[in-house]
Structure 1
Amino acid sequence: MINSQPVDEFHRLNHRLMPSGTPFEYAQGSVIVPEESNELRTYVFLEGAISLERQNNRLLLGVVAAPGIFGLGIGAMPTQEHYHLHVETSCRGYHLPASTTLQLLDKYQLWRDAFYWMTWQNRALEARDQQLIGTSSYAQIRATLLTMAKWDDALRARIGVMTYIQRRTLISRSVIAEVLAALRQGDYIRMEKGKLVCINRLPLDY
């Protein structure tokens, strides 16, 4: 993420949203499909890690470790795109109707906190676009490896490098495999059982 997560704002939002929420727990590998619900919902994650995937082309937008909020403003302006939430590590949280979220933001004057949270999300997506749009395949792979290196050890141990890069960039698996093999041979990265262990350094060009 480009900036530090606005944790204080999250806690203020969570304090007011949680009493109206319905708790949930999902096991690793579960897929949450928001459009299957009869109502627009806000999802709040208190534990675990979630990846956001665009449904029409299965493009992975990113992985977020809790705490996280999805659909905070969807009640004000529904999205035309459909997204799936993939549970990367077992998670716990709650959901509530998006209309209730808007009512609570009004009632408790939480618009500033909501603005900060949504701005942080937008900046993260901007950073992703800057890394991946109009760049070479190697530059995209390199940027994705650097992103994974920032995760904690537990998350890296659960997500395969090849699969994550392919989902995030849509680059062919053969190209990704060739680049990863060269980086491992040059001792630029270390992997075990398909998972990223560490990055020693990455060349700017391939």
Structure 2
Amino acid sequence: MINTQPVDEFYRLNHRLMPSGTPFEFTQGSVIVPEESNELRTYVFLEGAISLERQTNRLLLGVVASPAIFGLAIGVMPTQEQYHLNVETSCRGYYLPACTTLQLLDKHQLWREAFYWMTWQNRMLEARDQQLIGTSSYAQIRATLLSMAKWDDTLRARIGVMNYIQRRTLISRSVIAEVLAALRQGNYIRMEKGKLVCINRLPLDY
């Protein structure tokens, strides 16, 4: 299936990276700021959901459910942007120095697995760009609702629709509220206490 998360490759990477990692646990609402560390790090998440947010404009790039790896190749070419990792649901995992990650990839010949994982990440970012760049406000809201509908019930019950759409698209809250109200009134979506319950169907145009 296109864009399916390469789980087998993740577990082969995890098998070799974990012995060199430092365990962590974070509660919901925690913010991980990799730049605050004195070293470049690879973060591996085994449980929980995490979102990636660009610091410069607070733009949310997306939510990822575990298993997940961030900073797999940061030791090769450090990013010029600064990012936060927001803990959306309590999570656990481990981190290790990025230089150690590269050494382990080389030692255990895991470049194929790393390539598969990073290609999947790039495809997810491409899909996001297709949905949000050069499209109308309604098209962006619609695409975001459809992506939220794919989450499991636990994650949807924890993340408010209004806040998530605003963080992901930077569309004004008044516009988002107007669209959501119309979709609810037309029985296109169902929400409870600000959380998305289900989508019945979404019109292509608003």
What TM-score do you get using the length of structure 2 for normalisation? 0.99
Between the aligned partners of 2:160 and 2:189, the Cα distance in structure 1 is 14
Between the aligned partners of 1:107 and 1:52, the Cα distance in structure 2 is 29
Between the aligned partners of 2:161 and 2:66, the Cα distance in structure 1 is 21
Query: Which structure 1 residue ranges, 4+ long, deviate > 2 Å from structure 2?
Result: none
Tell me how far 1:17 sits from its aligned partner.
0.1
Tell me how far 1:183 sits from its aligned partner.
0.1
Tell me how far 1:177 sits from its aligned partner.
0.1
CA displacement 1:56-104 (0-9 Å, x = unmatched): 0000000000000000000000000000000000000000000000000
Q: Would the aligned equivalents of 1:45 and 1:69 in 2 still touch at CA under 8 Å? A: yes
CA displacement 1:33-52 (0-9 Å, x = unmatched): 00000000000000000000
Q: Would the aligned equivalents of 1:2 and 1:127 in 2 still touch at CA under 8 Å? A: no
Cα-Cα RMSD? 0.9
Tell me how far 1:2 sits from its aligned partner.
6.1
Q: Which residue of 2 aligns with 1:117?
A: 117
Q: Quick one: structure 1 residues 76 and 32, their matched pair in 2 at CA, closer, same or farther if it must change by over 3 Å?
A: same
Between Structure 1 and Structure 2, how many residues are aligned? 206
Between the aligned partners of 1:12 and 1:138, the Cα distance in structure 2 is 41
Tell me how far 1:16 sits from its aligned partner.
0.1
Between the aligned partners of 1:130 and 1:58, the Cα distance in structure 2 is 20
Q: Would the aligned equivalents of 1:2 and 1:123 in 2 still touch at CA under 8 Å? A: no
Match of 2:187, SS state, is coil
Q: Quick one: structure 1 residues 126 and 183, their matched pair in 2 at CA, closer, same or farther if it must change by over 3 Å?
A: same
CA displacement 1:86-126 (0-9 Å, x = unmatched): 00000000000000000000000000000000000000000
Between the aligned partners of 2:132 and 2:28, the Cα distance in structure 1 is 27
Match of 1:134, SS state, is coil
Tell me how far 1:176 sits from its aligned partner.
0.1
CA displacement 1:128-178 (0-9 Å, x = unmatched): 000000000000000000000000000000000000000000000000000
Q: Quick one: structure 1 residues 163 and 171, their matched pair in 2 at CA, closer, same or farther if it must change by over 3 Å?
A: same
Match of 2:73, SS state, is coil
Q: Quick one: structure 1 residues 67 and 43, their matched pair in 2 at CA, closer, same or farther if it must change by over 3 Å?
A: same
Choose 100-109 or 1-10, whichever is displaced more.
1-10
Q: Which residue of 2 aligns with 1:92?
A: 92
Match of 2:197, SS state, is strand
Q: Would the aligned equivalents of 1:2 and 1:124 in 2 still touch at CA under 8 Å? A: no
Q: Quick one: structure 1 residues 128 and 2, their matched pair in 2 at CA, closer, same or farther if it must change by over 3 Å?
A: farther
Between the aligned partners of 1:34 and 1:11, the Cα distance in structure 2 is 23
Between the aligned partners of 2:26 and 2:7, the Cα distance in structure 1 is 23
Between the aligned partners of 1:99 and 1:3, the Cα distance in structure 2 is 28
Match of 1:81, SS state, is coil
What TM-score do you get using the length of structure 1 for normalisation? 0.99
Tell me how far 1:25 sits from its aligned partner.
0.1
Q: Quick one: structure 1 residues 176 and 2, their matched pair in 2 at CA, closer, same or farther if it must change by over 3 Å?
A: farther
Between the aligned partners of 1:73 and 1:3, the Cα distance in structure 2 is 20
Tell me how far 1:19 sits from its aligned partner.
0.1
Between the aligned partners of 1:83 and 1:125, the Cα distance in structure 2 is 15
Residue segments in structure 2 that go unaligned for 5+ positions in a row: none
Say whether residues 1:136 and 2:136 are aligned partners: yes
